[in-house]
């Protein structure tokens, strides 16, 4: 499986620098985990950020910084080599499987939302969205940016089809009505949004009331 829709370079650069908004970084991570191309690009940006960091003008450290540091080394011996079996077994589950989730909630016929339990800024949302095959989403706009990664299944937005692994960035200018394609079964997405979705019509209001998304 190889994704065809990727985060923009600027998004991958912010991810590499660790400056993406909390929650949005998780959606990018979900894409990056399954996308070899983007992992390579993130590594390039990390190298750029690392080199630029070592060029920053040094800040003044406290006078006793180094002695304090050296004293701490005594109590913290270096870990054994990477070959030694000292590390706990690595969690090999995918990011999607490891994310802590809250209770799944019914949103509308064929639509479920499951908030993800990680720290975020007030008002932001991070959630899984499960939509049954053939369901058309609500026409909606965004009061802030929204990142989505398709975990499984496929959805169509206008003329573009997004499949598992694909990444979608929407900003405030986008008003859309994605549809889940029937032939691929249901669709699971992970999405982060800033501010609330602006649903159009009463169903949009209903969704906001029920789900708070």
Partner 1 sequence: MTPEPSIETSEPARELAPEDLIVAIAVRADRDAFARLFQLFAPRLKSYLIGLGTTPPAAEELAQEAMLSVWRKAAFFNRSRAGASTWIFTIARNLRIDAARKERSALAYAVDLSEEPDAPEQPDAIVSGAERDLKVREALKSLTPDQVTVVRMSFFQEKPHSEIAADLGIPLGTVKSRVRLAMARLRERLEELL
Positions touching partner 1 (CB under 8 A) are 8-10, 12-15, 17-19, 22, 25-26, 28-29, 32-33, 39-62, 65-66, 68-70, 72-73, 76-82, 91, 95, 98-99, 118-120
Q: Which is nearer to partner 1, 29 or 132 (CB)?
A: 29
**Closer of 131 and 189 to partner 1 (Cβ):** 189
Coil vs helix vs strand at 9: helix
Dist. CA 177–CA 198, nearest whole Å: 12
Shortest distance in whole angstroms from residue 62 CB to partner 1: 6
Measured from the CB atom, is 19 or 209 closer to partner 1? 19
- Give every CB contact of residue 202 below 8 A, 6+ residues apart in sequence: none
User: How far apart (Å, rounded) are the C-alpha atoms in residues 70 and 47?
Assistant: 28
Minimum CB distance to partner 1 smaller for 9 or for 205 = 9
Q: What is the DSSP string of 170-200?
A: E-TT--B--EE-GGG--EEEEEEESS-EEE-
Please list, residue by residue across 65-85, b when 16 or more beta carbons sit within 10 angstroms of its beta carbon and e when fewer do. Answer: eeeeeeeeeeeeeeeeeeeee
| Assigned token pair, 158 | 């206008």
Cα separation, 39 vs 92, in Å, equals 18
Shortest distance in whole angstroms from residue 177 CB to partner 1:
25
Q: Which is nearer to partner 1, 46 or 157 (CB)?
A: 46
């Amino acid at each position: 499986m190889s994704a065809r829709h990727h985060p923009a370079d600027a998004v991958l650069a912010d991810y590499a620098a660790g400056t993406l908004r909390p929650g949005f970084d998780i959606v990018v991570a979900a894409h990056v985990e399954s996308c070899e191309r983007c992992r390579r690009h993130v590594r390039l940006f990390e190298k750029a950020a690392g080199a630029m960091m070592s060029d920053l003008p040094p800040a003044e450290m406290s006078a006793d910084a180094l002695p304090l540091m050296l004293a701490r080394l005594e109590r913290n011996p270096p870990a054994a080599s990477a070959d030694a079996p000292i590390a706990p077994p690595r969690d090999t589950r995918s990011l999607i499987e490891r994310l802590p989730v809250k209770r799944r909630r019914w949103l509308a016929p064929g639509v479920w939302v499951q908030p993800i339990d990680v720290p975020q800024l007030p008002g932001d949302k991070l959630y899984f969205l499960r939509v049954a095959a053939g369901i058309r989403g609500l026409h909606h706009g965004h009061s802030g940016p929204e990142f989505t990664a398709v975990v499984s299944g496929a959805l169509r937005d206008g003329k573009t089809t997004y499949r598992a692994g694909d990444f979608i960035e929407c900003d405030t200018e986008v008003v859309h009505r994605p549809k889940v394609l029937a032939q691929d079964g249901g669709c699971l997405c992970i999405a982060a949004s800033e501010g609330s979705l602006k649903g159009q019509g009463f169903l949009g209001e209903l969704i906001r009331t029920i789900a708070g998304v």
